[in-house]
């Protein structure tokens, strides 16, 4: 990282200043002079000239945003929202802020897994809604936060209709105290420690000759399923370990040790953290005891009624007791699902249970007047986590997915596969002859009517372009990693409708009085609290959803082609990564609007995609959360010359030479995408090694260009 002197704030660059074009340096200095820019401007390793703002720049602003980038809020939860943890506890997001933890996640097919996560505060003074579930639990979150539905898709909180069934997390304990989790795809119960192992958190599962493989809980707490507390052992070795602990470790059982243990527990119980932990643990143990050893529990409490009956009878006979009983018995409560009025809370509880059933479905969603700071978890592997309320929610560009195939599954010629992909996914200006009719997209089209009237005639085009690649540097690739496994990767955006919305709002911003004296009119901004800002955020929120939906639709079509080409193929969890967007985030203790133009988020643990050019390498990365880059990284190699320069400098023969071994177009129509027109991706990755770490290195063997 190198510091470049700016006009108002400095520029922190991850590229050598001598390698940045002079026109791009001028743009960075223009950005640094804006009165709304916060702290500094960050320039990624792939930085180069762009319209208004440089591509590869990260700009944080206070109460302002430039419509030169497309963006969307990050959905989050209030700090008191509780999360189910692998160690058997529940903890609030506020308590977890800044910490790593292990949580339950779920695949689209309904397979519950475990994954590592990092909590962070993401937004201050956010607008909220309350989601009430049929179990009586409620969740407070931002209106845009995505909840996972039973079919594996997602829907924002403010679009959840009464009766919507959410993906549930059902847990229980067996007679030995081990946590059981019900797999939604099969209904079978599975021990949580084996879920941790099957999720890869314990590494490769070894085989022990002549022994069953079992999992040992190091602290002997069967409910604590943190990966660091679990150890894979042979069954005989495990039994021997327990015998040694009992027979040889006399100090462990000594009276002196027991006295000191009890004293330490008592001291911890006097602290707020210890009191809360023991109270939660005690509640869990009592409930489990009542459920699993019911006869013993009933015997233990058999005398309670006789001892308490005289006091209760005396209270009930008193005038105060009679009045309270009448009040509670006659209070009417309205069922949110059907509108029926039922007397008392107990009556309402029984009505919900027996009339509607408990299936983790939505009862209602209400907007709230209060505003609060909000938090979320970054869950890179799965993109979702389970709340203590028992439902899965999404955590807070491009898409990539690993397959079960290797290079040995590929034919000698990939030309036929490329042709099939191009037939399934239109490229360039082409659209689907018949728009995709997907049930999950219907809400998107219903909201189209709320967009600025200037785009009302583009509905047909927007529908036809959903699930299409577009042009420019958009691509669909088939890649091999260093272990010879095949990955699918694609890059696309919000197509013509997103471009049209952006141009409309950029034009509106240029006409505002506060933008008249800017060094570059393309840097025009909207200010918080204005109608122009509200209209802009409404439209770009929709456009960002369209872009995400477009990538999901294309990835589905791409996977269908591969399934037909080489059945059966298993696909891993998709890595989704977007760039050219705006989000509300907290940096250096302040709430700011962060614009990433040609940059990706690289928060601590965030998975991302950094592609090279066709014929070079690409990378799946994990963010390191560097605060000086506003937790960002480059979105690719970055151009080192314009498209026009590339066409003048190179020939089709150059293109064929530089794309040897890659099945792709090799004609003048894609000459401006020749690898030599881009920076060296290896050097770009070296320059940002303090921003990301490499998870997988990929090389292209097939590329479809827009």
3-state secondary structure 667-705: CHHHHHHCHHHECCHHHHHHHCCCCEEEEEEEEEEEEEE
233-263 tens-digit pLDDT: 999 988 888 777 655 454 445 567 677 778 8
The CA-atom distances, in angstroms, between 368 and each of 142, 237, 365, 371, 584 are 10, 57, 10, 8, 20
The number of CA neighbours under 13 Å toward the Cβ of 571 is 22
Phi and psi at residue 602, in whole multiples of 5°? Answer: -135, 50
Q: What was the pLDDT predicted at 251?
A: 46
Query: For 2-72+396-640+678-705, which CATH class?
Result: alpha beta
Q: What was the pLDDT predicted at 248?
A: 46
561 or 381, greater pLDDT: 561
486 or 706, greater pLDDT: 486
35 or 144, greater pLDDT: 35
The number of CA neighbours under 13 Å toward the Cβ of 493 is 22
- Classify each residue of 450-478 as buried b or exposed e, where b means 16 or more C-beta atoms within 10 Å of its C-beta: ebeeebeebeebbbbbbbbbbeebbbbbb
User: CB–CB of 351/342 below 8 Å?
Assistant: yes
What is the C-alpha separation between 314 and 481, in angstroms, rounded? Answer: 77
Dihedral angle computed from the Cα positions of residues 509, 512, 513 and 519, in that order, rounded to the nearest 10 degrees: 20
Task: Dig out the tokens for 238 from the structure.
Answer: 């495990």
* 255-269, 342-356, 383-397, 513-527: range with highest mean pLDDT: 513-527
Of 211-215, 273-277, 654-658, 663-667, minimum mean pLDDT range: 273-277
What is the C-alpha separation between 670 and 676, in angstroms, rounded? Answer: 13
Q: Residue 37 — very low, low, confident or very high, per pLDDT cuts 50/70/90?
A: very high
**Helix, strand or coil, per DSSP, at residue 374:** strand
Q: What was the pLDDT predicted at 72?
A: 34
Phi and psi at residue 452, in whole multiples of 5°? Answer: -55, 135
* 60-69, 457-466, 534-543: range with highest mean pLDDT: 457-466
* Chain centroid to CA 198: 21
Task: Dig out the tokens for 393 from the structure.
Answer: 């929610």
What mean pLDDT is predicted for residues 138-163?
84
What mean pLDDT is predicted for residues 252-278?
78
Q: Which H helix or E strand runs over 428?
A: none
What mean pLDDT is predicted for residues 116-139?
81
Q: What was the pLDDT predicted at 521?
A: 80
The CA-atom distances, in angstroms, between 628 and each of 18, 602, 701 are 21, 11, 36
Q: What was the pLDDT predicted at 381?
A: 60
Percent of the chain with pLDDT over 90: 37
Of 220-229, 328-337, 545-554, minimum mean pLDDT range: 328-337
Residue 609 reports pLDDT greater than 60: yes
Reported in sequence order, the residue ranges of 134-255 that DSSP labels E, i.e. its strands, are: 138-141, 146-148, 154-156, 171-173, 179-182, 189-191, 213-217, 230-234
Of 143, 150, 133, whose CA–CA distance to 72 is shortest? 143
576 or 491, greater pLDDT: 491
pLDDT averaged over every residue in the chain: 85
Q: How many helices and strands, by DSSP H and E, does the chain display? A: 18, 35
Q: Which residue has the tokens 């991706």?
A: 681
**Spans of all domains in the chain:** 2-72+396-640+678-705
306 or 105, greater pLDDT: 105
Q: Residue 69 — very low, low, confident or very high, per pLDDT cuts 50/70/90?
A: very low
Q: What was the pLDDT predicted at 73?
A: 36
What mean pLDDT is predicted for residues 394-404?
74
556-604 tens-digit pLDDT: 899 999 988 887 888 877 777 777 777 778 899 888 888 888 899 898 8
pTM of the model as a whole: 0.58
247 or 344, greater pLDDT: 344
Residue 65 reports pLDDT greater than 80: yes
Q: What was the pLDDT predicted at 249?
A: 52
Q: What was the pLDDT predicted at 247?
A: 53
What is the C-alpha separation between 586 and 573, in angstroms, rounded? Answer: 29
Q: What was the pLDDT predicted at 681?
A: 93
**Which residues, including other chains, have CB under 8 Å from residue 561's CB and lie 6 or more apart?**
417, 420, 421, 424
Q: What was the pLDDT predicted at 58?
A: 93
What mean pLDDT is predicted for residues 468-497?
87
Residue 621 reports pLDDT greater than 90: yes
431-478 tens-digit pLDDT: 999 999 888 788 889 889 999 999 999 999 999 999 998 877 788 999
Q: What was the pLDDT predicted at 74?
A: 43
User: CB–CB of 401/573 below 8 Å?
Assistant: yes
Of 118-122, 199-203, 361-365, 366-370, minimum mean pLDDT range: 118-122
Of 48, 491, 579, 635, the active-site residue reads 635
What mean pLDDT is predicted for residues 14-24?
88
Task: Dig out the tokens for 354 from the structure.
Answer: 């027996």
What mean pLDDT is predicted for residues 483-508?
87
Q: What was the pLDDT predicted at 231?
A: 94
In the residue annotation, 635 being an active-site residue is answered as yes
């Amino acid at each position: 990282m190198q510091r470049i002197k700016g006009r108002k704030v400095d520029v922190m660059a991850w590229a050598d200043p001598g390698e940045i074009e002079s026109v791009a340096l001028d743009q960075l200095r223009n950005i640094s002079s804006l009165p709304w820019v916060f702290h500094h401007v960050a320039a990624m390793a792939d930085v180069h000239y762009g319209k208004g703002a440089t591509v590869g720049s990260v700009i944080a602003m206070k109460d302002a945003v430039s419509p030169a980038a497309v963006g969307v809020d990050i959905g989050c939860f209030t700090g008191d929202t509780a999360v189910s943890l692998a160690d058997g506890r529940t903890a609030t997001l506020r308590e977890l802020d800044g910490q790593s933890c292990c949580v339950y996640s779920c695949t689209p097919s309904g397979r519950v897994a475990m994954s590592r996560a990092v909590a962070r505060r993401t937004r201050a003074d956010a607008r909220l809604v309350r989601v009430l579930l049929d179990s009586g639990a409620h969740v407070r979150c931002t209106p845009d936060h995505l909840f996972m539905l039973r079919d594996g898709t997602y829907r924002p909180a403010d679009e959840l209709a009464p009766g919507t069934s959410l993906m549930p997390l059902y847990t229980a304990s067996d007679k030995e105290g081990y946590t059981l989790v019900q797999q939604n795809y099969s209904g079978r119960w599975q021990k949580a420690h084996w879920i941790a192992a099957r999720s890869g958190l314990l590494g490769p599962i070894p085989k022990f000759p002549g022994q069953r493989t079992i999992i040992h809980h190091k602290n002997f707490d069967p409910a604590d399923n943190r990966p660091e507390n679990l150890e894979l052992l042979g069954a005989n070795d495990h039994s021997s370990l327990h015998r040694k602990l009992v027979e040889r470790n006399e100090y462990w059982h000594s009276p002196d040790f027991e006295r000191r243990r009890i004293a330490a527990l008592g001291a911890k119980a006097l602290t707020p953290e210890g009191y809360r932990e023991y109270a939660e643990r005690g509640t869990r143990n009592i409930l489990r005891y009542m459920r699993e050893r019911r006869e013993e529990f009933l015997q233990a409490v058999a005398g309670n009624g006789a001892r308490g009956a005289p006091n209760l009878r005396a209270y009930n006979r008193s005038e105060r007791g009679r009045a309270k009983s009448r009040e509670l018995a006659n209070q009417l409560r309205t069922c949110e699902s059907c509108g029926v009025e039922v007397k008392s809370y107990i009556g309402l509880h029984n009505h919900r249970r027996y009339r509607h059933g408990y299936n983790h479905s939505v009862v209602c969603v209400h907007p709230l007047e209060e505003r609060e700071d909000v938090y979320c978890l970054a869950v890179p592997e799965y993109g979702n986590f389970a709340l203590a309320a028992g439902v899965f929610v999404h955590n807070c560009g491009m898409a990539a997915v690993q397959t079960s195939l290797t290079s040995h599954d590929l034919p000698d010629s990939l030309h036929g596969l490329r042709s099939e992909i191009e037939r399934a996914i239109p490229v360039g200006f082409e659209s689907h002859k018949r728009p995709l009719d997907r049930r999950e997209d219907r809400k998107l089209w219903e909201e189209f009517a709320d967009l600025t009237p200037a785009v009302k005639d583009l509905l047909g085009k927007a529908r036809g372009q959903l699930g299409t690649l577009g042009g420019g540097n958009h691509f669909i690739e088939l890649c091999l990693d260093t272990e010879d496994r095949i990955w699918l990767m694609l890059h696309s955006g919000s197509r013509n409708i997103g471009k049209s919305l952006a141009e409309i709002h950029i034009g509106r911003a240029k006409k505002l009085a506060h933008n008249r004296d800017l060094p570059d009119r393309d840097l025009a901004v909207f200010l918080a609290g204005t109608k122009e800002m509200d209209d802009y955020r409404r439209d770009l929120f929709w456009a960002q959803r369209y872009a995400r939906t477009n990538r999901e639709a294309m990835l589905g079509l791409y996977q269908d082609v591969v399934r037909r080409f080489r059945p059966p193929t298993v696909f891993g969890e998709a890595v989704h990564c977007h760039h050219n967007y705006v989000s509300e985030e907290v940096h250096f203790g302040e709430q700011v609007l962060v614009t990433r133009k040609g940059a990706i988020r690289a928060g601590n643990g965030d998975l991302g995609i950094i592609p090279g050019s066709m014929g070079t390498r690409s990378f799946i990365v994990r963010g390191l959360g560097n605060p000086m880059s506003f937790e960002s990284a480059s979105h690719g190699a970055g151009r080192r010359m314009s498209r026009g320069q590339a066409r003048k400098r190179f020939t089709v023969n150059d293109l064929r030479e530089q794309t040897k071994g890659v099945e792709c177009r090799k004609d003048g129509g894609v000459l401006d995408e020749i690898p030599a027109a881009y920076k060296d991706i290896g050097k770009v990755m070296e320059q940002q090694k303090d921003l990301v770490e490499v998870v997988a290195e990929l090389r292209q063997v097939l590329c479809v260009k827009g």
